[in-house]
Chains A and B, each alone.
Chain A
Amino acid sequence: MTDPPEGASAPWRRLDARMLLIHPLETLVRFLPALLAVFVARLGSDGDDRWELLALPVILAFGVLRWATTRYRIGDGQIELRRGLLNKQTTTARLDKVRAVDLTAKVHHRVLGLARVEISTAGSTREHLVLDSLGIDAARALRAELLHRVEAVDPSVAALPAPSGAAAPEPTDELLVRLDPAWVRFAPLTVTGLAGAAAVVAFVSQVLSRYSEERTAVRDGARWVAGLAWWVDVMVVLAIVSFLAVAGYVLTFWGFRLTRNRLGTLHTRRGLLTTRETSIDASRIRGIRLDEPLGLRLAGARRLKVVTTGLAHEQGGGGGGADWLCPPAPASVVTPLAALIRPDEDAVSGPLVGHGPAAHRRRLTRALLPAAALAAVLVVAWAVWDWSPTVLVIVPLLLVAALGLGLDRSRALGHLVTPDHLVTRQGSLDRTRVVLDRPGIIGWTIQQSPFQRRAGLATLVATTAAGGQHYDVVDVPVDRAYAVLAEVSPELVREFR
């Protein structure tokens, strides 16, 4: 224990009083639609009683109540969070189950020097403790207290002041990577960037189409756009989408930095408006994931994520993007970074063992069959229902694209067992290379579909408590699958040989 003594006598601590300013603001934003409705209704009537103003003291009272009834304390090997007046809730988590501590500060938090603390723990319930909000210094001190408890004998850590004190990041932290603004050029090349941009474009176009009937400006604009050559339209759309993707990248990753302290705890900080700080205890890390989606790969870029326990796996193991170790960046930055975190040259960048001709054929079949079916439908549509012959132009394009995809996917397949890691790689548009710590594997599954059985292939699944919960070696020859299993978990295989 760092500061509080063992036993139930540890002092209760409160949220920061400045949250009283934030709470009404957030409530206001939440009820904004209702308030607008009231306001609009008021315009139509001539009464002038302002009863909705009564809501203000109520909201304030709720804020005060929340502040007054929420307390937390650390002691006796656990953190306790108590809240509620009538319906009292107490959440308890053992300190040795704390997996990661997340500090999030939205714009209004930052103005007031506050941060929301989210403590992720492991266990059957996978609960999250949320403290909304603490002063930024108190939040950092709490984080240090939670994550460094094991090494409390370390004088510089034990000397960390109580949550009221200031605790700047230790000067000994090693800076692993810092965002280079030039990297935003990779933003439009990722699916997430494009999806975000597409959502915005779809929303705006929907809003515009609602007004397009009556607003001549919009109509003239639409006519002007329709009059342009098609490639100009494409360029315009590309430009807009790229701009939005870049904006998204900047908002999410501005000021990104990854540091590592003496104890090996990884610490990321990022965000332009909403800042987010994540700390991940070294003992929780089970590996890393190198993503090289097609767009990034063509531009010579990669991105890096961490495979760790204790981040909410509902969101694909990411805990809402808390697992980023490096945003899309040149491979010359990402690969050495990966080697710093998992110093195993072969696992991070070495050549992998391929899965052979049967797996190769299977990738091609799986890519070409749907494309061929679609092509057949198009040809039939042209022949029987007199569809325009332009559909015939699509057919070869479709088949070539499917062939390329299949080839790229079969090239991606590979795995490797090194003394410390199991490496697996798959995918084309979403190629990932996972470097999984061998001790992090807590079970195995060997799956075979009827088609795989005929081809003599199997999918070897390594289950883990971290990240995506399972990582697959796809379409590996059956005897090779068992060889990998025997190499990584010899004690298990010995039981059932």
Chain B
Amino acid sequence: MLREPAERVSRRAILMWTVEALLVDVVLLAGQVVWWFVDSSPTRTAHWAVGGVWLAVAAGYAAVMPRWRYRVHRWESTPRAVYTQTGWLWQERRIAPLSRVQTVDLERGPVAQLLGLASVTVTTASAAGPVRIHGLDLPVATALVQSLTAATAAETDDAT
């Protein structure tokens, strides 16, 4: 049995996931509003029913998913390997030996930029095996990228 990875992601990741969940709700809301004005029938029961259902689901999702995800998401990087645990309902752990790492990317989406967060993607030669760590504090992410890049630069093999 493997233990959990040592590090948690940033606490602000909860906020990031919440905002991202709410952004999807805004799109749904826009659809609902369009429907309200396009529909010519006098009764509005269907509108309230549909709106109520997705609002309940969306609220539950935005409340539960980010916290649950924060409890699950963990990562760890050693000189030999990088190890992550992600997901919430569907969970997974990924391990990639640094000797097989090909590229290390740092990405910052719009929400992540506002919150001072970043995600790190470590790719191997397998199309199925990128290891992603979301919601890291920017300084932590930068330091991680530097250490990973230094560790992988030493490898001259084509890592397949």
Contacts and interface: CB of A to CB of B under 8 A. Distances in A.
Interface of A: 96-97, 122-124, 309, 313, 442-450, 453, 461, 463-466, 468-470, 478-479, 482, 485, 489, 491-493, 495-497
B160 A496 contact: no
A470 B128 contact: yes
B90 A122 contact: no
A362 to B, nearest CB: 15
Contacts of A485: 2, 95
A123 B96 CA distance: 18
Given A443-B129, A469-B128, A469-B129, 11 more contacts: A123-B158, A442-B96, A444-B94, A445-B95, A465-B159, A468-B128, A485-B2, A489-B95, A492-B81, A496-B2, A496-B5
Contact of A492 (B97, B126, B127): B97
A319 B91 CA distance: 32
B117 interface: no
Given A442-B100, A479-B1, A495-B83, A465 B91 contact: no
B149 interface: no
B2 A493 contact: yes
A491 B96 CA distance: 11
Contacts of B1: 478-479, 482
A478 B2 CA distance: 10
Contact of B92 (A96, A445, A469): A445
Closest 6 CB pairs of A and B: A463-B129, A470-B128, A465-B125, A465-B160, A442-B100, A463-B126
A306 to B, nearest CB: 15
B36 to A, nearest CB: 34
B61 to A, nearest CB: 15
Contact of A482 (B2, B90, B92, B127): B2
Interface string B1-22: 1110100000000000000000
Interface string B67-98: 00000000010101101000001111111110
A491 B83 CA distance: 13
Contacts of B78: 495-496
A450 B91 CA distance: 8
A466 to B, nearest CB: 7
B152 interface: no
Given A122-B158, A465-B124, A445 B2 contact: no
Contacts of B90: 447-450
B158 A443 contact: no
B29 to A, nearest CB: 29
A446 B93 CA distance: 5
B125 A122 contact: yes
A448 B76 contact: no
Contacts, number: 102
Contact of B96 (A443, A479, A497): A443
B119 interface: no
Nearest to B102: A124
Range for the number of chain B residues in contact with chain A: 20 to 34
Nearest to B123: A124
13 contacts: A122-B160, A445-B95, A446-B93, A447-B90, A448-B91, A448-B92, A449-B89, A465-B124, A469-B126, A478-B1, A492-B97, A495-B78, A497-B2
Contacts of A449: 89-90
A28 to B, nearest CB: 38
B127 A442 contact: no
Nearest to B4: A496
A456 B93 CA distance: 15
A331 B93 CA distance: 38
Contacts of B80: 491-492, 495
B125 A442 contact: yes
Contacts of B92: 445-448
A283 to B, nearest CB: 10
B103 interface: yes
B118 interface: no
B91 A496 contact: no
Nearest to A463: B129
A463 B76 CA distance: 19
Contacts of B102: 124
Interface string B106-143: 00000000000000000011111101000000000000
Which of B2, B97, B102, B158: most chain A Cβ within 10 A? B2
B100 to A, nearest CB: 4
A465 B126 contact: yes
Nearest to A466: B160
Contacts of A495: 78, 80-81, 83
Contacts of B159: 442, 465
A123 B160 CA distance: 9
A492 B95 contact: yes
A496 B127 contact: no
Contacts of A466: 160
A445 B127 contact: no
B97 A489 contact: yes
A309 B124 contact: no
B83 to A, nearest CB: 5
B95 A442 contact: no
A445 B128 CA distance: 9
Which of B96, B129, B131: most chain A Cβ within 10 A? B129
Which of A124, A461, A496, A497: most chain B Cβ within 10 A? A496
Contacts of A448: 90-92
A482 B158 CA distance: 28
Contacts of A450: 89-90
Contact of A124 (B94, B96, B103): B103
